[in-house]
Chains A and B, each alone.
Chain A
Amino acid sequence: MTLGITMTALCLIVLIPLSALVLRALSVGPEAFWDITSDPRTLAALKLSFGAAFIAAAINMVFGTLLAWVIVRYRFAGRKLIDAAIDLPFALPTAVAGIALATIYAPNGWIGAVAKELGFKIAFTPLGVVLALIFIGLPFVVRTVQPVLEETELDIEEASALLGASRIRTIFQVVLPQIYPAFLTGTALAFARGVGEYGSIIFIAGNIPMVSEIAPLLIVIKLEEFDYAGATVVATIMLATSFILLLAINRFQAWGQNKIGNV
C-alpha cells in the first residue's frame, strides 16, 4: 500500500517528466546525439558546470561544516541571527543573488575593485561562477550537518581527550565519523544544486562560449533556436552525469557507514 502510493507519486512527479525528456533527446538519433555530446563547446560548458559545482561543493563542505560546528558548539551574541541568515540563499530569488554578487564582484564593486588592484577579475570569469555556487550551496551543507552535530554528545569528545588523543585525532576519528553521512549528503545536495543553477550565474558568469558559458545557458540558447531536441540532448547528458555522480556518492556513503559500523 505505502509502496504503491510512493511509487505512483514518484512516477508522476519525477519519472514521467524525466522519461519524456530522455525520449525526446533520443529522437534525434545516435549520430546527432553524439555530435552534440562531443561538440567542444558542449564539453566546455559541461566541464564548467560540473567543475565549478564540484569546487564550490568542496569549499562548502569544509566551511559549511565549520559554520555548523560554530553555531552548535559556541554561544555568542548574534548566534541566532547568523543561524537565520544561513537560510537566506534558499529564500532569495536566484536572479537577485546573481545581481547582488555581480554588483559586489564587478571591477567597480567593493570586492571586485580590490581584486582589480591585485590584478585579477572575479565577476565575468569562471571564478565568479564558483563564488555564486558557494553562495547558493552553503545552506545545504550547514542544514544537513547541524542537526547531526546537535545530536552528538560532548562526552565522547571529552573521553577521547582524556584517553590522550590529540585534537586533530579527535576531530578525524571521533567527530567526523559521526557526522560523516550528513556531511556527504549536504555536499552532494550542494553539488547537485550547483550543476543545474542558472538564475544567479547568468549575471556573474560573462557567458563567453568556451570560457564562462554554463551548460544550462547552452540549453537556453538551443531553445532560442527552436532546437528543442538539441536542448533535451544536453539536458539528458547533464541528468545522466548527475545521476551517476549522486549514485556514486550514495555508494560511498553506504560503504563508509559499514566501515564505521565495524569499528
Chain B
Amino acid sequence: MSINIIRRSFSLGLAAVTFAAMLATAPQAFADSSLLNVSYDPTRELYKSINAAFAADWKTKTGETITINQSHGGSGKQARAVIDGLKADVVTLALAGDIDAIAEKAKLLPADWATRLPHNSTPFSSTIVFLVHKGNPKAIKDWGDLAGQGLEVITPNPKTSGGARWNFLAAWAWANKAYGGDEAKTKEYITNLYKNVPVLDTGARGSTTTFAQRGIGDVLISWESDAFLALDEFGADKFEIIVPSISIAAETPVAVIDENAKANGNEKLAKAYLDYLFAPAAQKIAAHQHYRPSDPSAADPADLAKLPKIELVNINDAFGGWAKAQKTYFSDGGVFDLLYKPRS
C-alpha cells in the first residue's frame, strides 16, 4: 500500500518537475535575459506591478524581452541567502543594515553602495502604523496604549524580521520622546509592550496573517503598506488603520549586487532597473500600492491623500544609523534579548 503511494507520489513528483522545467525553459526560449530581484516579505504585489511596467518599458526602448524573477522572504534571511551565494542581480530590502551585511560579509558590492542612488538609495519608503479591529474596541490611539494591561499586540520577531525592527524602533522613538529621554522608563515601556505579544512570527506577513486571519490580538503593528493591503484583502469593514502620533521613516533601500550582475552579464539591465524605480512611472505605482514615493510629483494625488501626515523620526538622527541600532538593540545579548531574560 505505502509502496504504491510512494510510487504514485514519485510519478506525480516527476510530472511536477517536468512541468516546472517546461515553465522555466519556456520563457527563456523568447527572453533575451533575465534579472533576479531579491526582496523582502511584503513587496510581492508591488514588484509584480513594477516588473511588468519595467519589462514593457525596456521592450519599447531596446526591443529586448526580459524576465524579472522575484524572491521574497524575511529581509535578514534574504540578505543571508545572497551572502551564501544566491545570485541576486539587485536587492531591494527592508533596511540598509541588511545590504551593509552583504557588502561587509560577501564583498559583493562596495561599502558606500547607499551613495550611488538618490535618497540613500531609497526609491520609496514606508512607515509603521497600527491595524485594529473595526470601531477600535480597545480605544488604541498611540504607542502608550500598546503597553496597557490585558491587551494583545501582534508584531513579528525583530531577530528575524526587518519590519519588526522598524516596529521596535518606532515604539522606542515614541517612548524616548514621551519620557524625555529617560532610558530606564523607555525600557520598562518596551518590556511591557513585548509582554503583550502572544505570538512572535518570523516575518511581517506572518504577523498580518496571525492578526487578520487567525483573529489573534487587539492590534497589529504593521508596515503602512501592508496595513492598507490587509484592508483591501480582508475588507475595510473588519479593520481600520490607527495612525500614531510619531513613527519612523522606514527607508527600504535598493542596490545592484555588482559582482553578481557582472557575472550574469546584467550590469546595464540591473542599473536601468533600479533607475526605473526612481522614475515617475514606478513612483506612481508605488504610491498606488501605499508606499511613500521619494518623488511625490509623479504620484496620483488621490493615492497620496490616503497616506496620513505623521511626525517621522529618522534612523540616522534618532539611532545613529543601522550599524549602531543593530548592535545596541538586536544583536545577541542586546536590548531585545534582555527583555526576555528571566529576572534574577
Most buried by B among A40, A80, A206: A206
Is B2 touching A40 in the complex (CB atoms < 8 A)?
no
Is A230 touching B199 in the complex (CB atoms < 8 A)?
no
Is A208 touching B80 in the complex (CB atoms < 8 A)?
no
Is A103 touching B214 in the complex (CB atoms < 8 A)?
yes
B201 within 8 A of A: yes
B22 within 8 A of A: no
Is A123 touching B214 in the complex (CB atoms < 8 A)?
yes
**With A224-B159, A225-B159, A226-B105 as contacts: A209 and B215 at CB distance below 8 Å:** no
Cβ-neighbour of B200 out of A83, A207, A224 (below 8 A): A207
How far apart are the CA atoms of A78 and B330 in the complex, in Å?
A: 54
Cβ-neighbour of B199 out of A40, A206, A217, A221 (below 8 A): A206
**With A107-B216, A221-B159 as contacts: A84 and B76 at CB distance below 8 Å:** no
- Give every chain B residue within 8 A of A83 (Cβ-Cβ): 1
**With A224-B76, A225-B332 as contacts: A206 and B1 at CB distance below 8 Å:** no
- Give every chain B residue within 8 A of A87 (Cβ-Cβ): 2, 5
How far apart are the CA atoms of A109 and B210 in the complex, in Å?
A: 12
B245 within 8 A of A: no
**With A41-B340, A123-B214, A223-B80 as contacts: A202 and B5 at CB distance below 8 Å:** no
Interface of B is mostly: loop
B12: nearest chain-A partner, CB-CB: A91
What distance in Å separates the Cβ of B264 from its nearest Cβ neighbour in chain A? 25
A102 within 8 A of B: yes
A124 within 8 A of B: yes
A46 within 8 A of B: no
B101 within 8 A of A: yes
B153 within 8 A of A: no
How far apart are the CA atoms of A204 and B342 in the complex, in Å?
A: 24
- Give every chain A residue within 8 A of B331 (Cβ-Cβ): 225
Is A208 touching B197 in the complex (CB atoms < 8 A)?
yes
Is B214 touching A210 in the complex (CB atoms < 8 A)?
no
What distance in Å separates the Cβ of B64 from its nearest Cβ neighbour in chain A? 37
What distance in Å separates the Cβ of A19 from its nearest Cβ neighbour in chain B? 21
A254 within 8 A of B: no
Is A230 touching B332 in the complex (CB atoms < 8 A)?
yes
Is B2 touching A143 in the complex (CB atoms < 8 A)?
yes
Q: Which residues of B contact A (CB under 8 A)?
A: 1-2, 5, 9, 74, 76-77, 80, 83, 101, 105, 157, 159-160, 197-202, 206, 213-216, 330-332, 337, 340-342
Given A107-B214, A108-B215, A217-B202, 19 more contacts at CB 8 Å? A80-B1, A91-B9, A103-B213, A108-B214, A123-B214, A124-B199, A143-B2, A206-B198, A206-B199, A207-B157, A208-B198, A209-B337, A221-B159, A221-B160, A222-B332, A224-B76, A224-B77, A225-B330, A225-B331
7 contacts between A and B (CB under 8 A): A107-B216, A109-B214, A202-B202, A206-B198, A210-B342, A225-B330, A230-B332
